[in-house]
Structure 1
Amino acid sequence: MEIILLLIYSGIVWLIFFKFKWLPWNFISQVIVITLPIFALTALILYLNVVAPSSSDVRVLNYVVQVTPRVTGRVIEVPIEPNRPIKKGQVLFRIDPEPFKQKLSELESKVPEFTAKLDTAEAYQRELGDQLKSARSTQSALAAKLELAIKREGQTRDLSGTGAGTKFDYEQAQTDVKSMRADLAQAAANTSQVQQKLSAKTKQGELSEVAQARAALEQLKAQIAYSRWELDQTVFRAPADGTVVNLQLRVGSYAAQIPLVPVMSYVENEQMVLAMYTQNELRNIKPGNDAEIALKTFPNRIIKATVDSIVWSSGTGQLPLSGTVPQTGTNPIPPGRFAVRLIPSGRDEKTFLPMGAQGVGAVYTEHGHMVHIIRKVILRVGTKLDLLVLKLH
């Protein structure tokens, strides 16, 4: 663009000083003609860098999922091909499910046994309740009989003293009272024994035997649920739309549940475009500003975009005590720069952008609309030059 402006300026100078000779071509006019474009272009570029800042470092980044199996086993199927579109939910690979099926069957076979133990414990609790009711009833009946026996003892004592009754009846009544007291004491002991057994209850009102049997059954059910989950995890599905690059997993491979050893890298279709700017270029950039990018992957093409946000963080702003902020892209952000996230918009909203593609771009702020055209021309001239493949081999 600068060359075009200089050519236009040179044509105007030629018309004024040589074609029509409206002004004399002397030393003063020569100095003015030479210095004027230098100062004008310098001021224009400086102003342009404020109202329509450009970036020579635009990157296309994709989210990459390191695929690690959630269970360990031998791979029996890999039904995908590398560098082919994959839909969310499509099977990436399968692990031999037989060991997990056997484990699940073994656990499920124990359910009747643990259920029977719980039923036995609950029946024992009900039996203790019935025993307590029976013991209390027996104790109440014996207490009534004892009270009657004591009355009869008094009556026979009085009759024996007046001669109206025999001494034998009195002694028999005394024996009955002693027997009734012994029976009542035994009934009270039985009641106390049953109550003591029933006193060992949990907060839910269950015997400890019932609680233990129920806990064992619930633990078994949890193990069954986890075993079913493990069986389900033998089939690993795509977490999102994307592709698998550099697929090395093969049938017969051993997939281990180790986070640091992924079996493949899954590249999601969701991506973001980052433009790197120095700190003093960000003052006028706001979310919603229009932007344009030109990637070397697509020579002679301008991709429309919109500013989504400014990433106000950088690894240089964090102390090394707790690690570092994850770097953006394959190369770290240059010191003193921040990333501006761009989103393709308009007709380019669904445009395929290769992961790792680089290029240049510009953001058009709310200021200096008249000079935005200059930045657009510069961007378009640059992308036309990308059509040239400058190498000697």
Structure 2
Amino acid sequence: MLELLLCSLFTLLPDYLYRRYVQGKRLGKEITLYSVWFELRWGIVGCLMLTIALITMIFYFHPSTTSAALFFRTVPIVPEIPGRVAEVNVGFSAPVSKGTVLFRLDSSKQEAAVETARRKIAEVEAQLVAAKVDVAKAEAQLQQANSDYKQSKDELDVKSELQRRNPGIVPQRDIEKLQVLVDGRQAAIDAATAAKRSAEMQVSTLLPAEKASAEAALAQAQVEYEKTFIRAGVDGRVEQFLLRPGDIVNPLMRPAGVLIPEGAGQTALQAGFGQIEAQVLKPGMIAEAACVSLPWTIIPMVITTVQDYISTGQFRGGEQLIDASAAKPGTILAVLEPIEKGGLDGVTAGSTCIVNAYTSNHEIIAAKDTGTLKGIGLHAIDAVGLVHAMLLRIQALLLPIKTLVLSGH
């Protein structure tokens, strides 16, 4: 309607003024309800054509959409393991900080595993003490074996020396017995040395390895025990948290609730524009938004990202063929951020908004190689954005009335 009134000022009004003051035709006399088409046909046709051209140019170069919202990410509250809820620490709706325990699962099995691992460590430590005693015992046995060997070796050496100096003074049989005894004592030394090495190996390598394995088992059991405590991963707010003790939760089938991160929906606005405007939408374009949850307010924004893919065109490989005729027309997703810091303060996350984006050709117009006619045309394109800005403000002004009064709620 606003475009029609504007175009009538340049087409229908001049035609009427010509008929009135040049041809002398008056309303209600020569110009009646039955003759208005014949008398003002040039102005009416020109007004309709100019209105259609103006509306097309406005909506193409200055895209508008009502499919805009402050989408926000939610974090599902799910445990890593299934189990029965033993304790709930938050209510239906409550702010939480990162690391806060939201609820706890029954942990009797995990506690038993932790205690078993601790007992195993204690057992290994006891074995380590016993092994150190075995090392001391082996050292004593080695000293005794060395003493016995030295004694028998000295006796053998003495009798062998006497036999060498005075053959026949010592029976050969005694020397042979002493040699066998020395060899046995040497074997005893070797056995004691091996026993000592075995005991030292137990103390230095085997038992420490067993202790490390037991400590790793304890750490694993402790990790499994910690999984029974479900904590908040980020700062935020728990909403509609209806979990109660005795409920069964499963990470695959039944989440426990939803956590909304702090500041969710307060940084960017997502808007879906028509596909025909894909060549017009560019990062850096100035835009304005009017949101339902913040009436009578225009928020200046800027387009930061234009998604290169339309969501309706995606598919997953499977056993069915794709039918392109079944796909619904999708939209070009653009992400907008407020120009001023805190521009979205007061807008409820998830709120629906109306968004206008405005094409600016200032740099092209200011370029030296831009012709006069092209510059005038680009000036006209930029100027008609004012009409769209007026429409947005009218929509923002009428939005509460339309919602509260005319909708019937």
Question: Aligned-pair distance for 1:370?
Answer: 2.4
- The answer to whether residue 348 in structure 2 is matched with residue 337 in structure 1 is no
The answer for the alignment partner of 1:308 in structure 2 is 304
- The answer to whether residue 376 in structure 2 is matched with residue 369 in structure 1 is no
The answer for the alignment partner of 2:277 in structure 1 is 281
Give identity over the alignment, percent: 14
Question: Aligned-pair distance for 1:64?
Answer: 2.3
Change over 3 Å in CA distance of 1:190–1:292 after alignment to 2: same
Paired residues of 1:146 and 1:181 also in contact (CA < 8 A): no
Q: Specify which structure has the bigger relative contact order, considering alpha-carbon pairs within 8 angstroms and separated by 6 or more residues.
A: 1
Given residue 51 of structure 1, which amino acid in structure 2 is its aligned partner? F
The answer for the alignment partner of 2:235 in structure 1 is 240
- The answer to whether residue 216 in structure 2 is matched with residue 218 in structure 1 is yes
Paired residues of 1:51 and 1:284 also in contact (CA < 8 A): yes
Given residue 168 of structure 1, which amino acid in structure 2 is its aligned partner? V
Q: Which secondary structure does the structure 2 equivalent of 1:342 belong to?
A: strand
CA distance in 1, matches of 2:117, 2:200: 30
Q: Deviations over 1:32-74 (max 9, x none)?
A: 4334333433333333334321123222322223323557444
Q: Which secondary structure does the structure 1 equivalent of 2:9 belong to?
A: helix
CA distance in 1, matches of 2:156, 2:233: 87
Change over 3 Å in CA distance of 1:18–1:224 after alignment to 2: same
Paired residues of 1:244 and 1:265 also in contact (CA < 8 A): yes
Which aligned pairs between 1:70-109 and structure 2 lie closer than 5 A?
72-74=83-85, 76-77=87-88, 79-82=90-93, 86=95, 88=97, 94-95=103-104, 100=107, 104=111, 107=114
Given residue 274 of structure 1, which amino acid in structure 2 is its aligned partner? Q
- The answer to whether residue 10 in structure 2 is matched with residue 9 in structure 1 is yes
Question: Aligned-pair distance for 1:373?
Answer: 1.0
Range moving further from structure 2, 23-32 or 265-274: 23-32
Change over 3 Å in CA distance of 1:154–1:347 after alignment to 2: closer
TM (normalized to structure 2)?
Answer: 0.70
Paired residues of 2:84 and 2:245 also in contact (CA < 8 A): no
Following TM superposition, the consecutive aligned residue runs of length 4 or more in structure 1 with deviations greater than 6 angstroms are 22-29, 198-201
Question: Aligned-pair distance for 1:156?
Answer: 0.9
The answer for the alignment partner of 2:149 in structure 1 is 142
Range moving further from structure 2, 279-288 or 122-131: 122-131
The answer for the alignment partner of 2:122 in structure 1 is 115
The answer for the alignment partner of 2:61 in structure 1 is 51
The answer for the alignment partner of 1:159 in structure 2 is 166
Structure 2: runs of 5 or more not aligned: 26-30, 320-326, 362-380
Of the three residues 200, 205, 208, the one matched with 1:207 is 205
Of the three residues 354, 357, 369, the one matched with 2:351 is 357
Q: Deviations over 1:191-229 (max 9, x none)?
A: 34554x36978xxx94334422431233224423543x2
CA distance in 2, matches of 1:183, 1:392: 112
Paired residues of 1:69 and 1:255 also in contact (CA < 8 A): no
Given residue 41 of structure 1, which amino acid in structure 2 is its aligned partner? T
CA RMSD after TM alignment? 4.5
Question: Aligned-pair distance for 1:276?
Answer: 1.0
Given residue 360 of structure 1, which amino acid in structure 2 is its aligned partner? I
Q: Which secondary structure does the structure 1 equivalent of 2:269 belong to?
A: strand
Change over 3 Å in CA distance of 1:372–1:88 after alignment to 2: farther
Change over 3 Å in CA distance of 1:146–1:216 after alignment to 2: same
Paired residues of 1:92 and 1:238 also in contact (CA < 8 A): no
Structure 1: runs of 5 or more not aligned: 161-165, 324-332
CA distance in 2, matches of 1:129, 1:338: 82
- The answer to whether residue 247 in structure 2 is matched with residue 254 in structure 1 is yes
TM (normalized to structure 1)?
Answer: 0.72
Question: Aligned-pair distance for 1:307?
Answer: 1.4
The answer for the alignment partner of 1:390 in structure 2 is 406
The answer for the alignment partner of 1:172 in structure 2 is 174
CA distance in 2, matches of 1:139, 1:371: 111
Of the three residues 65, 68, 75, the one matched with 2:75 is 65
Given residue 56 of structure 1, which amino acid in structure 2 is its aligned partner? T
CA distance in 2, matches of 1:313, 1:122: 69
Range moving further from structure 2, 282-291 or 151-160: 151-160
Given residue 240 of structure 1, which amino acid in structure 2 is its aligned partner? D
Q: Deviations over 1:241-265 (max 9, x none)?
A: 34614x544x555252444212333
